[in-house]
Each structure stands twice: as C-alpha cells, then as structure tokens.
Amino acid sequence: MATINGIAVAPGLVRGPVHVVRARADKAPHWTLRHEEIDADLARLRRAIEVVQERLERQKALVERTSGAQDAGIFAVHQMILRDPSALGAVERAIREERVNAESAVQDLVRKLRSTMGQLDGDSVRDYAADLSEPWRVVLDELLERDREQVLATDDSVILAADELSPQVVTFSDPSRILGIVTTTGGRFSHGAVLARAFGIPCVVGLPNLLGRLEQGMNLLVDGDQGRILINPTEEEAKSFDAAKKSRDLRRKALIRVADKPAVTLDGGHLRVMVNLESLRDLGTFNPAHCDGVGLLRTEFLYMERSQFPSEEEQFRLYRRVVDHMEGKVVVFRTLDLGGDKQLPYFTLPEEENPALGWRGLRITLEWQDLMRVQLRAILRAGCLGPVRILLPMVTSIGEVRRVREILNRVREQLIAQGYEVPERVELGVMLEVPSSVLILRDLVKIVDFVSVGTNDLVQYLLATDRDNPFVAKMYEPYHPAVIRSLAYIGRVCRESGCEATVCGDLAGDFVVAMMLLGMGFYGVSVSPHFLAEVRLGVRTTTRERLDRLVHDLAQAGDDREVQALLDGLKAEVQEDMEAGLRA
C-alpha cells in the first residue's frame, strides 16, 4: 500500500496493529470488516442487545417494585423496540453485506430512528411517546464499552486510529499501551495534540480517507517526525523502517547525554528552558537536571484524572510531589483552566454555542471562587517546600488580575491565622492568550511578576481560527505575521519593563522558534519534556548577533511562507553544528 502523507503532531517512529476508536462521545468509529470477521461482529451485536435487554428487565422490575407498573412501562417499551425485526434486520444486513462494523451500523440506525417518532406498531410506544433511538443508543454504548474493555484486557499495545484527534482518543487507555495515534483530521495545537506530545505518543493527523482504508488489526508504520503512515507494509518496508527507528533512537540518546548543558549562545545569551507538565506520570519522563524548572503545570489534567474535585489536602499532596521532584527549581502552577474541550466528568459545564469565546479558564474560577481558594491554599502550602509561582489562564483585563490578588491576599492571611507556614511572597503571573491582554501589556506588567504566552490559544484568537475545529485546521497558521509581530512586541515590552516573559505554548517546542524567542527578548520557554534537549542544544550553536538579525528580517516578512523560509534558513545553518555537538 502507498504511503499516506499527513501532518506531524507528535514525534517518534512506531509500528504495530491498529485499533479504530471513537473520537467523541456521539461518534462511533467506522471500519471495514474482513470476511472472516462478519460472524464474530454479528455475535458481538447480539450479545450487546442481550446485555441491554437483561439490564432493562432489571430496571423494569426495580421500578415496578418501588413505583408501580405504570412507571415501569417505558422499560417494556424499550425492550419491544429492540425486538423490532425490521430495525435489527437493517443492522445485520449492513454488517453482513456492506462489511460495516457493528458500532457504525447501529449508529446509522440511531440516526434514522431519531427522525421517526412512534412509527412502530403498538399503542404503548405512542402512549409513551418513546424515542425509538434511545435503546439502540444504549446498545451502541455497550458495544463501545466492550470494545474498550477488550483492548484493555489484552497485553497488546496498539496504534489508535480515529476520525478526530480529541482528548478522548489520547486518553482511551493507559498511555503506555498506546504506541501511536493517527487521525483523519485534527490540528497541531488542539488539546488532543498537546496531550499526545505530553504523553510522548507519536501522532500523525490530516490523513485523508484514513478510516475507510483500515481494518481492525492491520499493521501500520507511523512516522511522527515526517507526518506520514504506511498501511500493511511489506517485509522490506518494515525492515528499513526499523533501521531508521534504530538510528533515531541513537540520536535521541546522544541528545539526552548533552541535555544537562544550559541553553547559552556562543556569546552568552541565556534562554531558560522549562517543561510543561500535565500529569504526575510526566515526572518520570525527564531529568530535572536537564531543565530550568516547570514552566507550566496544567493543573486541570490532575482534576480530570479523578472522579470528584480534589480536596485541598489531595491537591497539596500532588503539588508537593512536583515541588519535591524539581529539587529547588521553580514550579509554575497554572490555576484550573477548564472549558471547551477540557471538561471534568463530575462538573457539567453549560452547553455553549461558542465555547472558545465562552465560559472558560479564569472566568469560571472567578465565578466559582471556592475552586480558586482551595487551589490557591494548596499551592501556597506547597510553596513552603520549594519555589512556586502562580499563573492565571485566559486573562483579558486588569480587573481580573486585581480580583485574584485580593483573593490571594485573603487566602494567605487566612492560612497564617490558621497556623500554616506560607512563603513570604509568591509571584503571580498571567498567560497572554487573548489579544486584549497583549494590547494592555504595558499596564499588565506593572501589576504582575511575569507573563507566559500561550500561543496555542493566542493564535486561535488572533486569527479567529478554532484550534480544535478540523474544518479550519489549515488556517491555523502560527507563522502568520500577526503572530510573529505580536511575539516580537511582547518580547520588547517585557524586556523594556524588566518583566520576565516566557512562551509555554507548544510552538516553543520547535528549537528554531525557541531560538527566535531568545532573539526577541524572551527570558525562557516551556516545552514538552521531549523537546528539552534539542532546544538547549540548538541555542548553544548560535549567537545573539545572528538571532538579532533573524528578528530584524522576520519583522519584514509579509506572509507565513516568508517566516517559514527565514526559520528554515536558520535551521539549515545550525544543523551541522548541532550534529557535531552531539558527537562531542
């Protein structure tokens, strides 16, 4: 089969069997069955229906006992709907004749049934105004849950395939069991992409007609460096892929060996290179001696891994582990940044037409101040054990920062009154993610201790291009001159006012971008652990004078291609020195 080219999202080379999964709660995965799999899929479908029928029977009996036969009637109706031979026949035909997997066949039926209300024979259906699709939706959930359990029950690791790169796909199973991820659509800076990089899972998106070409269990080669995949490789192709992987692994080892050296240019320009963390699991993926601290701890992911809000004590324990692990290096705690794709299973946010412009980040925690207070208490207490900083997400105005300052001061006084030890002073910073915060930067720097640019969001808001919307993924262009000029402006204002500025968006993980940021006056970058070594090495091969020239040329660039060409030029220049640096 031919190579399919897509977009490289998370680096690394992997090969293994593919497993197609659903990307979103309302979307079943679709794949083509092999002839020999048809009977097994029909049996899977019947088993799922049986399980749902048994569950309905139990529910009916329970409601009958507690509330009476009238209330229990709806369960009998659902059982009847599942026994309707025409619906079942349509699903079985799709599986047998079109070789469609059971989940996808049931989803098609659910779609059709949604538009038909009460067309089944029998008064009881009409009496209850039953939604005919409801029991079939439960069958669909049952099939999907079984499928997930089946993967989790084996020891095999798989390459996940889905139509979109959503956070649900990346967290489908324990990251150690996911060799790689490939999807039809998805952006490089979507939340799913951020997670894939954080977990170190090689990932390629933008692969046209991917799922139509896949059968469950097919062999895949995934090249997350170049952004391409190969389906069912020949032996020859697999061999040369393995050879490429081996030399890549050797290069990574060489990179790690030199990662303890700081990112200082040949003429003394110093860029602090910190790490972005999402989970305590990430602590095992890097050596604290290879970085200048944690530049961004996305605390919301710690909340997402639980079944209820973590208490102050729980948060304190988690935060203490990070602070202890960093051996005296600074840890920047970003307060809870929920909304859009980042949801908690135990805290239902309202459905919004436009979640990226809606209730998210600081807007939520300023409204639900208990959430903010508990978290600030835990961070302040952890701050006695090592240097910590507090970072606020989605800031749009001075007033928001003032309100947080007041809360922080009250929380601090309260802790002292309760006999807790708290640090003398904890620095407070803001994320620059929204254009308004950039435009008021000269005022902001007077009331904050540091700023950190969230390019993942800043790009989406500057270009009016949703980072999680596959339809506009091509327009999400981080090299747009509006982005480059905003970064240059932030670097200049912060340098002039003596305010530390870092970039913690994923853009900074590319070593030439990190070098550019040093040229623009940034104090540091914060990147996924995987990129630490290369960023540090890249900076060591250049001079401030060369970076000043780059920044001067970038200011004249009229479009993203000119920006790309300038950065590629620098990359080509330093490549040889970087390889020499690895051999030294």
Binding residue (CB under 6 A) for ligand PEP from 29, 200, 224, 454: 454
State the minimum distance, in angstroms, from the CB of residue 371 to Mg ion. Answer: 18
Identify what 465 binds: ligand PEP, Mg ion, none; CB under 5 to 8 Å per kind: none
Choose between 241 and 476: whose C-beta lies nearer to ligand PEP: 476
What is d(CA 224, CA 395) in angstroms, rounded to the nearest whole number? Answer: 33
3-class SS shares of the chain: helix, strand, coil, % to 5? 55, 15, 30
Binding residue (CB under 6 A) for ligand PEP from 142, 457, 500, 534: 457
For the beta carbon of residue 267, count every other beta carbon within 10 angstroms.
11
For residue 295, state whether it binds Mg ion (rule: CB under 5 A). no
Binding residue (CB under 5 A) for Mg ion from 454, 519, 524, 538: 454
State the minimum distance, in angstroms, from the CB of residue 295 to ligand PEP. Answer: 10
What is d(CA 392, CA 493) in angstroms, rounded to the nearest whole number? Answer: 20
Identify what 194 binds: Mg ion, ligand PEP, none; CB under 5 to 8 Å per kind: ligand PEP
Number of residues that bind Mg ion (CB under 5 A): 3
Choose between 362 and 388: whose C-beta lies nearer to Mg ion: 362
What is d(CA 47, CA 52) in angstroms, rounded to the nearest whole number? Answer: 9
Q: Which of 78, 191, 290, 530 is catalytic?
A: 191
- Strands laid side by side in the 203-205 sheet: 3-5, 228-231, 219-223, 13-20, 158-164, 178-185, 203-205, 7-10
State the minimum distance, in angstroms, from the CB of residue 319 to ligand PEP. Answer: 18
Residues 169-228 that bind ligand PEP (CB under 6 A): 194
Check if the beta carbon of residue 453 is closer than 8 Å to that of residue 505. yes
Number of residues that bind ligand PEP (CB under 6 A): 11
Residue nearest ligand PEP, CB atom distance: 454
What is d(CA 220, CA 33) in angstroms, rounded to the nearest whole number? Answer: 17
What is d(CA 194, CA 167) in angstroms, rounded to the nearest whole number? Answer: 9
Buried b (16+ CB within 10 A) or exposed e, 407-442: bbeebbeebeeeeeebbeebbbbbbbbbeebbeebe
Choose between 193 and 318: whose C-beta lies nearer to ligand PEP: 193
For residue 391, state whether it binds ligand PEP (rule: CB under 6 A). no
Choose between 92 and 457: whose C-beta lies nearer to ligand PEP: 457
State the minimum distance, in angstroms, from the CB of residue 457 to ligand PEP. Answer: 3
- Answer yes or no: 270 catalytic: no
For residue 457, state whether it binds Mg ion (rule: CB under 5 A). yes
Please state, in angstroms and as integers, the Cα–Cα distance from residue 539 to each residue in 251, 275, 501, 534, 548, following that order. Answer: 18, 16, 17, 9, 13
- Coil, strand or helix at 55: helix
The region of 23-31, 150-158, 455-463, 552-560 touching Mg ion under the rule CB under 5 A is 455-463
The region of 85-93, 243-251, 451-459, 565-573 touching ligand PEP under the rule CB under 6 A is 451-459
Check if the beta carbon of residue 52 is closer than 8 Å to that of residue 82. yes
Binding residue (CB under 6 A) for ligand PEP from 132, 338, 504, 508: 504
**Amino acid of residue 30:** H
Q: Which of 291, 494, 504, 530 is catalytic?
A: 504
State the minimum distance, in angstroms, from the CB of residue 271 to ligand PEP. Answer: 18
- Answer yes or no: 499 catalytic: no
- Coil, strand or helix at 559: coil
Please state, in angstroms and as integers, the Cα–Cα distance from residue 191 to each residue in 430, 528, 555, following that order. Answer: 20, 13, 30
> Would you tell me which residues interact with ligand PEP (CB under 6 A)?
194, 296, 298, 337, 433, 454-457, 504-505
Q: Applying CB under 5 A, which residues contact Mg ion?
A: 433, 454, 457
Just list the catalytic residues.
Answer: 191, 504
